[in-house]
A and B are shown apart, each in its own frame.
Chain A
Amino acid sequence: MTRLLPSLRGIPRVVVFGAVLTVLAIGGTFLLDPYRNFQLATVAAYFCATAGLTLLIGQSGQLSLGQAALMAAGGYGYALTANAMTDAGVTGIPRFLAGMLTAVVVSAALGWLLGLAAARLRGPYLAGVTLTLVIAVPAIAAVFSGVLRGDQGLQIAYDGVPRMLERLIAVEQWQAWVAILVAGVVVTGLAALTGGRLGLRMRAVRDDETAARLNGVRTGRVKVTAFTLSSVAAGAGGAVLCFATQSVSPGAYTLAFSLLLVVAVVLGGLGSIGGAAVGSALIVLLPWALGAATAALPLPVEVAQRLSGNLSILVFGLLLIVVMLVWPGGLASLRRRRRASAPTSGSATRDGGDPRTHGVPEATLSRDVAADASAARADDAADPADEHAPPTDDAADPADGAAPGHPEPVLSSAPPTPHRKR
């Protein structure tokens, strides 16, 4: 990607690429039918959450199983504000912006609190606490059922297409636009922040906390910041999901869903924002494809009933195990692999030099590598942050729904970008 506009560096580069991909994705919605556009909106909402999660796990090394709970916080924040605004007679875009703001503030506050606890905990302890948080979501909704309406959840008023666009697009397409726009802003922001000094600090904390501390990095503060950023992204995702589905309920934010978000970031490649986009698309599209496939088979009703839901979980579980065991870099490592074997110009028969992808059967990669070929130009740094979504020609691909960050290789460019103050 450095071949495109090589003079553009640092944060402006991230912003430009984010904006271009967002616009491309919005343009792509014209090629899709309403149902696909709804799916695209869902993917974009999940993408916010997975981008935050991949930053948290991949860059700062904190495993959270509670991303769904933070999404729920954003969703409830959005729904409560939107309903209050409706009662006050405010509609349309002001209502959306107010809801969004509340969602971000609520989820940031919750994430900050969790981050304070997380900064003191190590791996499995944190995973356990966040797991408990997700389990507690229905309980919290039930205890505060006066406001949150228990299992039933909250419904919000219908957000139609703005008048000037009414003739042009359907409501699903409008929802996809909004979702893509929010995802674009959130993810570009994350990418810009973590591409700079903050990202370097996070990776330092992840790799060796003691060394980081000796170098003057305030590890606790870095961990809390990572947690808060990731929660803001999740909250924005929850708000968008609430906007697209006009409701929020504890049933949408189960433990299974939270684990799926982890699956998405692991499959995509931990720390890779482009990988998070691909992972989000997988967790939306794979269950749907499997459902369609089993529906096409002549199965007895009872068997079909048992397969529905369970089959996709089974496939995701298997994928998670296999990727973790044989291919820990996830889908994002494909590009790295490709780069490593670039001198032999695409003869994908040898093992690349990247130890992370060493020994992976080539046949399984070839299709994706082919799809990825255009983006597989030699980039620098084997840094997991330095990844972006492979551009594809399929508009349904969520890579388009993304504004993947393409931060500069921080580790190799010694002086931190001067225009960032923190």
Chain B
Amino acid sequence: MDRLLFLLATGFARGAIFALFALSLVLIWRAARIVNFAQGALALVATYAAFAVTGLTGSYWAGLAAGLIAGAALGLGVERGLMRFAPHSSPLSGVIVAIGLVMVLQSLLGILFGAQYRPMRAPFDDSPIMVGGVPLLSPYDLFVLAVALAVMTLLALLFTRTSLGLQLRASAFAPEVSRVLGVRVGRMVTIGWMLSSAVAALAAMLLVPTELGLNPHATDMLFVYAFAVAVVGGLDSPVGALVGGLVVGVAMTLVTGYLGATVAPIGVLVLLVGVLLVRPGGIFSLREARSA
């Protein structure tokens, strides 16, 4: 029972990170209609930047800020310098360019920094607090949950309460009409990319201290899980990302805790195929217009 409670609590914290990363995939899907398969690699580069700045200044917070800025800058660079030129004839070309980008970024990191794991320090204690003799969340987990919730609330406010949010939503749903009405759609897409990669970078920076350390492949599994989360929730739905993240996080922690870490990828596969067979667009997706 203690073990179950502990796993549930840890799964909750882990799920918050998945939800955050999935949210970044949802953001970019809504802004540019692509699943950015390079999201994990972009977040990883930003995390390396954060690691370097923390190493230089000795401050976790300076590193965190640098990582966020680096994430946004990468989003800007990739959208303006690469994705804008991808042929739009087929939805596959964006995915293929993104895969090329993953290969380039990961191999560059491997060449520059080597394959070893670099331990990344958490700003708070990560040993669990005992509540009535039961080990539960650690201070770091609480920090992760607080940050994730704060970011999600801020994004929700941005999208529903501000003029920029309205423009972002308008250009995502009806680019041509928005352009006629004076929305600078190209700029909105770029802002979507920057927001999305900054959020992804944040998720990666929160995750890495709880894992083995920083490595050119540290975000591979994060991407796969978060992709599963985003798809299960419906790529269009931020609420789906949040709920899906928590569900998948808890489910994966339970599978890992009771059946072993190697089984987790099979769990994701089963979950993905199962959900998509029942609802091809994801659970929270809007109903698509009939095609024939």
Q: How far is the CA of A362 from the CA of B36 in the complex (A)?
A: 32
B174 at the interface (CB under 8 A from A): no
Which among B92, B108, B280 has the greatest number of chain A C-beta atoms within 10 A? Answer: B92
Q: Which of A168-216 contact B (CB under 8 A)?
A: 209-210, 213-214
**Which residues of chain A from 239 to 282 have any CB-CB distance to chain B below 8 Å in the complex?**
255, 259, 262-263, 266
Contact indicator A325/B92 (Cβ below 8 Å): no
Interface status of B239 (Cβ within 8 A of chain A): no
B139 within 8 A of A: no
A309: which B residues are within 8 A, CB to CB? 110
What number of A residues sit within 8 Å (CB to CB) of B? 52
Q: At the interface, yes or no: A125 with Cβ under 8 Å from chain B? A: yes
A128 close to B96 (CB less than 8 A): no
Let me know if B107 and A311 touch, CB within 8 A: yes
A128 close to B265 (CB less than 8 A): no
Report the Cα distance A266→B96, complex, angstroms. 9
Contacts A124-B35, A311-B111, A317-B101 known; A136 to B96 CB distance under 8 Å? Answer: no
Contact status A139-B110, CB under 8 Å: no
The residue on A at minimum CB distance from B93 is A324
For residue B142, CB closer than 8 A to chain A, the reply is: no
Q: Please, how many angstroms separate the alpha-carbon atoms of A117 and B278 in the complex?
A: 10
Contact B92 A313 (CB under 8 A): no
Could you tell me the distance in whole angstroms from the C-beta of A73 to the nearest C-beta in chain B? 14
Q: How many residues of B contact A (CB 8 A)?
A: 51
> 0/1 per residue, B122-146, Cβ < 8 Å to A?
0000000000000000000000000
A136-B269 in contact given A117-B277, A321-B82, A328-B87 (Cβ < 8 Å): yes
In the complex, B283 has a CB within 8 A of chain A: no
Known: A314-B108, A324-B96. A136 touches B268 (CB 8 A): yes
Q: Does A142 contact B (CB under 8 A)?
A: yes
CB distance from A389 to the nearest CB of B (A): 22
Contact of A121 among B86, B108, B276 (CB under 8 A): B276
B227/A131 in contact, CB under 8 A: yes
Which residues of A sit under 8 angstroms from B227, Cβ to Cβ?
A: 128, 131-132
Tell me if B228 counts as interface (CB < 8 A to partner A). Answer: yes
B91 at interface, CB cutoff 8 A: yes
Of chain A, the residue at the smallest CB distance from B91 is: A123
CB neighbours of A70 from chain B (8 A) = none
On whether the beta carbons of A129 and B273 are closer than 8 Å, the reply is yes
Is B269 within 8 A of A325, CB to CB? no
On chain B, the residues within 8 Å of A63 by CB distance are 92, 95-96
CA distance A139 to B268 in the complex (A): 11
Say yes or no for A78: interface residue by CB 8 A criterion. no
Contact partner of A210 (CB less than 8 A), chosen from B107, B110, B262, B291, is: B291
Q: What separation, in Å, do the CA atoms of A348 and B271 have in the docked complex?
A: 54
A147 within 8 A of B: no
Given A139-B265, A209-B291, A209-B292, decide whether A321 and B100 contact each other with a Cβ distance below 8 A. yes
The docked-state distance in angstroms from the alpha carbon of A118 to that of B110 is 34
Beta-carbon contact of B111 and A310 below 8 Å:
yes
Q: Are B110 and A128 in contact (CB under 8 A)?
A: no
In the assembled complex, which residues on chain A have CB atoms less than 8 Å from the CB atom of B106?
Answer: 313
Distance in Å from the Cβ of B275 to the closest Cβ of chain A? 10
Residue on A nearest B221 in the bound complex, by CB: A135
Chain B proximity of A105: nearest CB distance (Å): 21
| Residues B272 and A129 in contact, CB atoms below 8 Å apart | yes
Q: Which residues from chain A contact B96 at a C-beta distance below 8 Å?
A: 63, 262, 266, 320, 324
Is A398 at the interface (CB under 8 A from chain B)? no
Whether the pair A120, B280 counts as a contact (CB closer than 8 A) is: yes
Which residue of the partner chain, among A61, A116, A127, contacts B37 with CB atoms under 8 Å? A127
Beyond A128-B227, A139-B262, A310-B107, is A123–B102 a contact (Cβ under 8 Å)?
A: no
Q: Are A314 and B111 in contact (CB under 8 A)?
A: yes
Contacts of B111 in A (CB 8 A): 306-307, 310-311, 314
Specify which chain A residues have a CB less than 8 angstroms from the CB of B292 in the assembled complex: 209-210, 213-214
CB-CB nearest in chain B for A316: B103
The answer to whether A314 touches B107 (Cβ under 8 A) is: yes
Q: Which of B115, B263, B264, B269 contacts A133 (CB 8 A)?
A: B269
21 contacts between A and B (CB under 8 A): A120-B277, A123-B95, A124-B35, A127-B37, A129-B276, A132-B224, A132-B227, A132-B268, A135-B221, A143-B263, A210-B291, A213-B291, A213-B292, A262-B96, A263-B103, A309-B110, A310-B107, A310-B110, A314-B103, A317-B103, A318-B100
12 new A-B contacts, CB < 8 A, other than A117-B276, A139-B265, are: A120-B276, A127-B37, A129-B269, A129-B276, A131-B227, A132-B224, A132-B227, A132-B272, A213-B292, A262-B99, A325-B86, A328-B87
